[in-house]
Amino acid sequence: MRRDLATTFITEAAVILSYLLTFRLVAVHLGVSGFGEYSLSRRTLSLLLPLGLLGLDVGIARYVSYASAERSPRTAGYPAAGLLLVAAGVGVVSAVLLAFSGFWAGVFFGSSKYVSLIFALPLAMAGAGLHVVAYGYLRGLARIQWANVLMAANYAVVPLLAIVFFGGSAASIIAAMGIGWIAVSVVPLIRLPLSTEDFRARIRELARFGVPRVPGDVFQLGLFAAPGILVAHEADIRLAGIVAFGIAALGMIGSALTPVSFVLLPVAARMLASGSVVKLRTSVVEVVAITLAGTVVLVLLLEVFAGTIVDAYLGPGFSGGVGVLRLTLLAALPFTLRSVIDAKHVLPVNARNMIITFATFAILTVILRSFVDPTHAPLVAFVVSIYVLAILTLIEVYRITRTGAPGQVPEAVTPELTAGWWGRVV
């Protein structure tokens, strides 16, 4: 596990550096307006992806992990089923986007004149979908090193190449990224075994696990996209781009912690399958202690040097984003363990927590508009809601590691447990 964590941290560091460099290149070559278009496009893509991916980012890794631990031939059936589900999900979302492109441009970017950005999104969604299937398959097989290679190629190399060769506009960059993700993700999918045996059963399993989680994923990414979209309507796309960059900075800190969830999900699934709950509890405590200490130090440094970083990184024209960056970074302090919850429950417990969190954000945004500037109200509400999510997650993880007992049957093989409140609602 330590080797996997180490190499995954290195990969995520490369992805973060690439992410920083892409924003820098866009700011230099496309200016403040182009920067805003690119920032909001990336955030909008993140918001739409759950509708196309149908929870497969977690589902494939989880079910392949269980099947691999049991040495079951079902392993090769999950990615094949995932490809079909991705094609259906991305196809439907893309059709809706393209059919009403002017309307969606107004919703996401504040004006119908940004319709070219809407046309670029389907390609990016298709590429991200193929990446999720290939990446989840490699994760479930515990081929962490190959999964890291795929992640580095798609999210560290492809975005930079897209900007260098197709950097004339934000729309062309987003479209080129999608094509690159498709080309890279096809490689492992061709080389790894795929099976259509019991195809319907595999589709049902993935859909049963993933589809009920879609609302939670939409609310989660809606939470991260909403501040920028609201500011785009209150002010303009330039200020909205700076807000989106502040949230992106938070995402970069989250990416630094991604290796924890990346490795912990299949590990937790195997521990729960074997009844090793005490060992899982020990691992969780160690992970929380290490990551929380590192996050506190990083956030303190960024808060102190935020002004210097923005001036040196984006230039003097973006100095108005310093306050936004400092405020947003406060949301990086809570550390959550949502992957442990997904490893344990078929029911979308994380989705329930995220809906509560988004409701908190929406209510606070409305209330705070009477007390603070309309462009800052969503950011304050965002920070508070992230703390609410962290508290809800820690409570559930405590329940899992406290009440579990050796020999308990994992939910992956007990379909009747889906008859909970959310299963009935969906």
Chain position carrying tokens 């909970």: 420
Nearest in space to 62 (alpha carbons), one of 216, 208, 277: 208
> If DSSP codes are grouped into helix, strand and coil, which group holds residue 346?
coil
The arithmetic mean of pLDDT across residues 286-310, rounded, is 72
DSSP state of 373: -
Q: What integer is the mean pLDDT of 115-143?
A: 90
Range with the poorest average pLDDT among 27-36, 92-101, 272-281: 272-281
Whether pTM > 0.85 for this model: the answer is no
- Mean pLDDT, the chain, rounded, equals 77
Confidence of residue 66 (pLDDT cuts 50, 70, 90): confident
| Neighbour-count burial for 406-426, b at 16+ CB within 10 Å, e otherwise | eeeebbbeeeeebeeebeeee
Question: Could you tell me which residues come within 8 angstroms of residue 353 by beta carbon, excluding any fewer than 6 positions away?
Answer: 216, 389, 392, 393, 396
Mean pLDDT on 369-374: 78
Q: For position 151, what pLDDT does the model report?
A: 92
Listed range (69-73, 90-94, 399-403, 404-408) with the worst mean pLDDT: 404-408
Burial class (CB in 10 A: 0-12, 13-18, 19+), 347: buried
Q: What are the pLDDT digits (tens) for 261-277? A: 555 555 565 565 556 55
> pLDDT tens digits for 29-44?
888 778 888 888 887 8
- Cβ(242)–Cβ(321) below 8 Å: yes
147/157 Cα distance (integer angstroms): 15
Give the pLDDT score at 186: 93
Range from 159-168, 368-377, 414-423 carrying the lowest mean pLDDT: 414-423
Flag the least confident range among 83-87, 117-121, 377-381.
377-381
Assess whether pLDDT exceeds 80 at residue 351: no
158 or 223: which leads in pLDDT: 158
What is the sign, positive or negative, of the torsion defined by CA atoms of 107, 212, 391, 272? negative
Bigger pLDDT: 339 or 40? 40
Which residues are within 8 A (CB) of 388 and not within 5 positions of it... i.e. 6 or more apart? 356, 357, 360
Tens digits of per-residue pLDDT, 223-256? 877 777 777 777 666 667 767 777 777 766 665 5
Number of H helices, E strands in the chain: 19, 0
pLDDT at 4: 67
